[in-house]
Amino acid sequence: MVRIRICDEPEACGQFWQKLWPQTCFFDLWPVRQIFAESFSRAPYFLIAEQQDRPVGMLALCRIEGQRFAHFPGELWQSKTWIEQNRIPVREQWMRDELLASLPGPTHLRYLTPESMPLSHASAFAVDEENFRIFPRLHGYSFERYMQEFSHKSQKNLSRERAGLEASGIRYRYDNFADIQHLLDLNLAAYGDFSYFADSRFLQAFVGLFRWLSEKNMLRITTLLIGGEVAAVDAGAVWNSQYTVLAGGTSGEFPGVAKIINFHHIAWACAERLEVVDFLCGDFGWKKRFHLQPCPLYQLHIHPEGAGAANDPLCCLRGFSGEK
């Protein structure tokens, strides 16, 4: 028998997160979630499964626009959440069904890991997007061996493209925090209203995230200069032998520069013998061609009948702090 309770006190929610949420990738870190929650003014609304007064599962939610619910922290870009690798951690699989049966309203869960699939909602569980990664170990931590996967024609074309850029002089610099402004400017110039940073809340969250990563010595900024001009800037997080490329910007004056900097990330990861380079979801026309490994993530839409504050069977438990 499982009892479902609500926790909406941030400090207690953080404690439950640390206790129940697996720490396997960068997005699993509680401070990362907190930074986005603060920027979007989201309050946690966690469903906690308890068995014999011990927490055994969790559905980490927050309320977003239109009285809907999403995975905490409910950050939105183009009306959809952005953070990947969401989970419904439970001790036993059937407990997910109990958590989902207690949803307080319409809920859209995105980027769920495969093991988070609930038994009772299998028909509503669908592929959301594919996450793209490369595992240097599978290439013997050798960039040259990785490049051998490309056809001879592709290798020639890539060499020709690189040679054209190198003729103007290619140089890299690293971890210059001032280059974050170049990243933002280049991204906004390229994508306009479709840039992540066109939303002031998202922009604030990323700037806060970059500062936190820098303080924790987890931020890697890669700036590619051609002829002394900033041609591309990428920023990523390095944690637990994983490199997550979070955001970037490229100049339209240097066609092909995106390929050069992405190959540079892979070469660096091989040299550092990292386990994973995570290029996030969305192919954008190049990730499959770069032989990155697609890993499906899932989404779940649920519209509970009669859900709402007026008839929420758990409303009397709001404010539960988790303290015994």
In a domain, 287, yes or no: no
In a domain, 324, yes or no: no
237 Cα distance to chain centroid:
11
- Is there a contact between 233 and 224 (Cβ–Cβ < 8 Å)? yes
Provide the 10 A C-beta neighbour count for residue 16.
Answer: 19
Mark whether 216 and 245 lie in a shared domain: yes
Provide the 10 A C-beta neighbour count for residue 285.
Answer: 8
Q: Is the pTM of this model over 0.95?
A: no
The position carrying tokens 């697609």 is: 294
Mark whether 252 and 158 lie in a shared domain: yes
Write down the pLDDT at residue 65. 86
Burial class (CB in 10 A: 0-12, 13-18, 19+), 188: middle
Mark whether 152 and 270 lie in a shared domain: yes
Write down the pLDDT at residue 1. 84
Question: Residue 220 sits in a domain of what CATH number?
Answer: 3.40.630.30
Write down the pLDDT at residue 124. 67
Write down the pLDDT at residue 121. 63
Number of domains into which the chain is organized = 2
In a domain, 313, yes or no: yes
Helices (H) and strands (E) in the chain, counts: 8, 14
Residue 117, C-beta contacts closer than 8 angstroms, at least 6 positions apart: 125, 298
* DSSP designation for 320: B
Mark whether 158 and 117 lie in a shared domain: no
Mark whether 141 and 126 lie in a shared domain: no
Mark whether 164 and 203 lie in a shared domain: yes
The string of DSSP letters for 64-128 reads EGGGEEEETT--EETTEE----B---BSSTHHHHHHHTT--S-EEEEEE-GGG--STTGGGEEEE
Residue type, 221: I
pLDDT digits (tens, 9 = 90+) for 124-157: 678 999 999 999 999 999 999 999 999 988 888 8
Mark whether 227 and 247 lie in a shared domain: yes
Query: Residue 224 forms beta bridges with which residues?
Result: 172, 232
Provide the 10 A C-beta neighbour count for residue 117.
Answer: 15
Mark whether 243 and 196 lie in a shared domain: yes
pLDDT digits (tens, 9 = 90+) for 3-41: 999 999 999 999 999 999 999 999 999 999 999 999 999
Q: Tell whether the model's pLDDT for residue 116 goes beyond 70.
A: yes
In a domain, 69, yes or no: yes
Pairing of strands 80-81, 76-77: antiparallel
Please provide the average confidence, as pLDDT, over all residues in the chain.
91
In a domain, 292, yes or no: no
Angle at 220 between CA 219 and CA 225, to 5 degrees: 145
247 Cα distance to chain centroid:
11
Mark whether 188 and 100 lie in a shared domain: no
Mark whether 178 and 124 lie in a shared domain: no
Q: Tell whether the model's pLDDT for residue 311 goes beyond 90.
A: no
> Which segment of 184-188, 244-248, 272-276, 280-284 scores lowest on mean pLDDT?
280-284
pLDDT digits (tens, 9 = 90+) for 185-215: 999 999 999 999 999 999 999 999 999 999 9
In a domain, 16, yes or no: yes
The position carrying tokens 């402004």 is: 181
In a domain, 155, yes or no: yes
Q: Which domain, by its residues, includes 259?
A: 136-274
254-265 average pLDDT score: 94
Provide the 10 A C-beta neighbour count for residue 96.
Answer: 22
CA distance 264 to 266: 5
In a domain, 322, yes or no: no
CA distance 190 to 253: 11
158-185 average pLDDT score: 90
Residue 232, C-beta contacts closer than 8 angstroms, at least 6 positions apart: 186, 223, 224, 248, 249, 250, 251, 254, 257, 258, 260, 261
Mark whether 108 and 224 lie in a shared domain: no
Structure tokens at 36: 């986005």
* DSSP designation for 26: G
Mark whether 226 and 311 lie in a shared domain: no
- Is there a contact between 22 and 9 (Cβ–Cβ < 8 Å)? no
Question: Residue 62 sits in a domain of what CATH number?
Answer: 3.40.630
Structure tokens at 182: 């170049």
Provide the 10 A C-beta neighbour count for residue 144.
Answer: 10
